[in-house]
Structure 1
């Protein structure tokens, strides 16, 4: 199971998290429990997850957790209105990652799962603006690439074009 995990992305994400929210910390990780939830726990964090509720319709769910920080790893691009969830968070720290809009590829859209679609693929300034407009002060950011082992123009472009954007913000 773990051989298929996106190791580079997970390693970057974990290092970014540790840099800004050291363990032990109680974290609400938006989204259902996933392999990265387990990785965080193995690194000393206490992790709570949402259970697949539609956060566009129920953004107030984030208030029912008493945590040190909220994480959102590749979640906000699936929401129609991530602003509403960000406004409801009562914790004072957020670490979030989002896929960046790539000029050479369309936004991701699953043909079989309506929930597994990207309503937003942000440019870095757009995500910073969303964070700031919803009451957060961006303190640190980082980008990384997502190379894939295939032949073609897009795989070559992915080797040096950043795909993921991480943000640490505080209230």
Structure 2
């Protein structure tokens, strides 16, 4: 059987998790501009619309007006000052979201060249769960995985067994 290759491990885990919880008949609003993973979802038969690059801390109009069945948010909430506001604004009854986990041995990511490519939040799993619950979501399924590198050093060794990514499937409760 042919197995699709992906540019990174995260994409393989993400599409498997998405297929487990979201059927191709459900439309998706993917938070963030179109990206390589948006194209992977489309290649797997999903109907995907992305937000337009607006600052979601300031403008949630596209989220509020969306008629999508499902919202996906892959590595987006850590960039927002107020993910609470965005989560409350979602009208869909299902969400699939992933975040990079806070690592005790590594500080929060901050690009030196791109002012938008920074992590305001790096959550622990329980913090993200609490945020979802507080904004009216019930977590149905969750998954964590590591992100090993082929570099040498203490941190690369820790990345072999310390989970880096956390993904949830949740449904609206209120």
* Runs of 4+ residues over 2 Å off in structure 1: none
Q: Give the match for residue 27 of structure 1.
A: 28
The unaligned stretches of length 5 or more in structure 2 are: none
**Per the alignment, in what secondary structure is the counterpart of residue 13 of structure 1?**
helix
Q: Give the match for residue 100 of structure 1.
A: 101
Deviation, 1:149, is 1.1
Q: Which digits, 9 at most, give the CA deviation of each residue in 1:21-76, with x for residues without a partner?
A: 12232100000001100100111100000111000001232022211100000000
Question: Is the contact made by 2:6 and 2:12 (CA closer than 8 Å) also made in structure 1?
Answer: no
Q: Give the match for residue 124 of structure 1.
A: 125
1:44 aligns with 2:45: yes
Q: Which digits, 9 at most, give the CA deviation of each residue in 1:85-127, with x for residues without a partner?
A: 0000000000000000000000000112111000000000000
Any residues of structure 2 matched to 1:63-78 within 5 Å, and which?
Answer: 63-78=64-79
- CA RMSD in angstroms, aligned pairs only: 1.2
Q: Give the match for residue 152 of structure 1.
A: 153
- Give the paired residue count: 168
C-alpha distance in 1 between matches for 2:7 and 2:114: 20
**Per the alignment, in what secondary structure is the counterpart of residue 170 of structure 2?**
strand
Question: Is the contact made by 1:55 and 1:61 (CA closer than 8 Å) also made in structure 2?
Answer: no
TM-score, length-normalised on structure 2? 0.93
TM-score, length-normalised on structure 1? 0.95
Q: Give the match for residue 5 of structure 1.
A: 7
